[in-house]
Structure 1
Amino acid sequence: MLKNYGVFVTAAKPQPKALNRAFLLIQDFEHADYPEDSHWTLITSKEAPSDVPPATVLPIPDISDNNAFTLSSMAEINTFIRENEDLMTKMGVSSSDWLIIDQKGFETSTCLVCEQIYKLEVGRTREFRACRLPYEEASSMIVNLDMANMDFEDFVDEDAGEQEDGSWMWMSFPPSTKDTEEESEGEAKREVALKELRDGGYAD
């Protein structure tokens, strides 16, 4: 499994506070230490970096004037990835699974987890599929897809079908009857980190 997953922002003029909040909420607070174990890399350029970029740290500055993926469609980002798989590998970023935050995402606190489609008879294809889900669920989905612990179908409402924007609708798992102490601890850590970000004036 590669270390990091790419994050692409397609909203026209994302507010830095909104982007910082989104980037914090997609972190894994349940099974990892933040920020040491962050595995998200914000990609704003189509050019190869001089060095392997680390996971993106907060706060993120205003990217409105230097984001190469502004107003890009999901299909256009997929095309970029498919045509630059060697570049993604050099960056230490997965070319099989990635995340998009679009304008709708900022408005609804959701993001799009995208997965390159694998077909048994041909292997990896140039096709992809995407699931729209809450920020807080993104890390769990993308890691499980990357590790092949679970399939895309395990996370989506197949009966609802593909949505108007081309994504699939996320379906939450049934409530667990097991001890929820770990989950509660993760939620508490997330709230503490979010408060620190707000107190610093970097998020609403």
Structure 2
Amino acid sequence: MPTKSKQTQYHPLSFPCRRTSRTPGTNATIPNLESYMLEITRGLGETTNAGTPTAQFIVIDEEGLRNGTVVLLERHVDDDVDDEDDIVLTDKFDKVRLPWKKVHSIFVNLDLANMDFRDFTDWQEGDAEGWFEYVDFGDDLPEKEREEREREREIERLRGEGLVD
């Protein structure tokens, strides 16, 4: 007999958590974390020798604990390079707040570089500080509807760039 699927509900932590150590991110602002990540990864390229990505990282903050979200940051890629195969990471970060249940899939796809940051956000809506609005790309939708949604988003992107009417 099939069981009904339940919608996962996230609740704030309600137990006291004893601090065992301080990390560089304790009580830091997002700009502080960006500076710290740039400092410790400078000169490493896109990954460390152990294969750890340096272009993306995840922040769990107080807001995220309350509402079940995280902040995903990715080094901004300079699109104004001559060779399309060259990846030039800038010292700026693109940022998006997204649900916990989406972060693993998105982080892995960004790390594998089979999807772009703009595939998960409304690229045209980023603000001056690099914050973008999360757009659910519909992994819970039927395949045909998901493809149609992706097609519509791509047409809007091309319109925004003045490439189609």
Scaled to the shorter chain, the TM-score interval is 0.5 to 0.7
Aligned Cα RMSD in Å? 3.2
Evaluate the alpha carbon distance shift between residue 97 and residue 124 of structure 1 in structure 2; reply closer, same or farther with a 3 A threshold: same
Kept after mapping to 2: 8 A contact 1:162/1:169:
no
Q: Name the structure 2 match of 1:145.
A: 110
Report deviation, 1:162. Answer: 3.5
Describe the superposition over 1:22-63 as per-residue Cα deviations: whole angstroms up to 9, x where unpaired: xxxxxxxxxxxxxxxxxxxxxxxxxxxxxxxxxxxxxxx744
Between stretches 74-83 and 95-104, larger displacement belongs to 74-83
TM-score by length of 1: 0.50
Contact 1:113–1:131 (8 Å) recurs in 2: yes
Counting strand residues as a fraction of each chain, which structure ranks higher?
1
Q: Shift in Å at residue 104 of structure 1?
A: 0.9
In structure 2, the partner of 1:94 is: 53
Greater relative CO (CA pairs within 8 A, separation 6+)? 1
Please say if 1:119 is aligned against 2:78: yes
Q: In 2, distance between residues paired with 1:68 and 1:77?
A: 8
- 2:133 aligned partner: 169
State how far apart, in whole Å, the 2-side matches of 1:160 and 1:117 are: 15
Tell me: CA distance 1:78–1:103, structure 2 relative to 1, closer, same or farther (3 Å).
same
Deviation for aligned residue 1:92: 5.2
Deviation by residue 1:68-114 (Cα, 9 ceiling, x = unmatched)? 3122122211111111115x826753211100011111111100111
Equivalent residue for 1:78, pick from 34, 38, 59: 34
In the aligned structure 2, how far is the partner of 1:138 from the partner of 1:160? 20
Which residue in the other structure is 2:64 paired with?
105
Name the SS for the 1:116 alignment partner: strand
Q: Distance in 2 between matches of 1:82 and 1:91?
A: 18
> What is the TM-score of this pair, normalised by structure 2?
0.60
Task: Give the share of equivalent positions with the same residue, in percent.
Answer: 26
Moved over 6 A (4+): none
Question: Number of aligned pairs?
Answer: 122
User: Which is higher, the Rg of structure 1 or of structure 2?
Assistant: 2
Q: Distance in 2 between matches of 1:158 and 1:124?
A: 17
CA distance in 1, matches of 2:52, 2:18: 22
Structure 2: runs of 5 or more not aligned: 1-11, 82-86, 144-165
Native 8 Å contact 1:16 1:62 kept in 2? no
Question: Does structure 1 conserve the Cα–Cα contact (< 8 Å) formed by 2:71 and 2:95?
Answer: yes
Residue 53 of structure 2 aligns to a residue in which SS?
Answer: strand
